[in-house]
Amino acid sequence: MQKWFKAIPVMATLLIALIPKSLNAAVHNITIVNDAFTPLNSVVTQGDTVRWTFDAPGGVEHTTTSDPTSPKQWDSGIMTYDNPYFQIFITYTDPTGDYPYRCTIHGSAGMRDTLRIVAAPIDIDGDGILNQFDNCPLMQNPLQENSDMDVFGDVCDNCQSKTNPKQEDWDLDAIGDSCDNCLYVGNSNQADADMDGIGDACENCCSREGWFSHAGGMDVVNLTKYVSYLFQGGRRYYCLEEADIDDNGKVNVVDLLRIVTWNFQGGPPLGSCP
């Protein structure tokens, strides 16, 4: 139970972060005077407030009441000098479009108006940059820093030093493939003790030549994974020295034939890792 209560503030924070926020929320003031709404045909953004103020001389009563066709329903009741104000809030879930309304007392005499609701510009992360212009819409970065000048800002770019608009990350270590010093083994710390550009996690990684699956034995499953890599866009092997059976620096069908021969025809041994 204590864990649940501790989690509530975190959950609340996440929910609030997902609520769209209008950067320019406004109050639209409409006066009711001389049997008319002024101004007419106001354009209102989701997140705005509409406020009617009774200002009619002579104490003539009026209302502001939505038409049955209006997407949002409201009714001020009788508005007089003793009850001069009424307002509604246009929520972010209220649909865009026209919201016709009238005075129920004088609507037949033409005392009608329409609010036009338009979509709100939103800023989900609350950094002051609208989502449509924000290079990291889910993470705050008001300065929009973007070192590699791709479409991702530095705070959400998995490779800040090189342009990588697709954000590929094969080993899912939060380091983009274009700047990962060990593509096939997760190494988010990018440790490289000898500074040779190859991460420690995959330095001298070859454990057995031809053992592509790194699970089970040197069997059909292992061979299938290699075929999938070569011809079906399957997962690469994290140690290419193991896949390069003839040690010529390339992984291709020649290497595939070597392992097929070894598996099914008693061909020459595959050799040891370099």
Sequence-ordered alpha helix ranges (H) in the chain: 2-17, 220-231, 240-243, 253-264
Question: Which of 72, 74, 67, 114 lies closest to 92, judged by CA?
Answer: 72
pLDDT in tens, 248-260: 777 788 888 887 8
Query: Which element (helix H / strand E) includes 178?
Result: none
pLDDT reported for residue 274: 59
Cite the residue boundaries of each domain of the chain with CATH code 1.10.1330.10. 204-274
Q: Is 49 helix (H, G, I), strand (E, B) or coil?
A: strand
pLDDT in tens, 40-76: 999 999 889 999 999 876 668 999 999 999 999 999 9
The top-level CATH class assigned to 27-118 is mainly beta
* pLDDT over threshold 80, residue 242: no
Is the CATH number of domain 204-274 1.10.1330.10? yes
Burial class (CB in 10 A: 0-12, 13-18, 19+), 88: buried
Q: Is 43 helix (H, G, I), strand (E, B) or coil?
A: strand
Cite the residue boundaries of each domain of the chain with CATH code 2.60.40.420. 27-118
pTM greater than 0.85 (yes/no): no
pLDDT reported for residue 123: 84
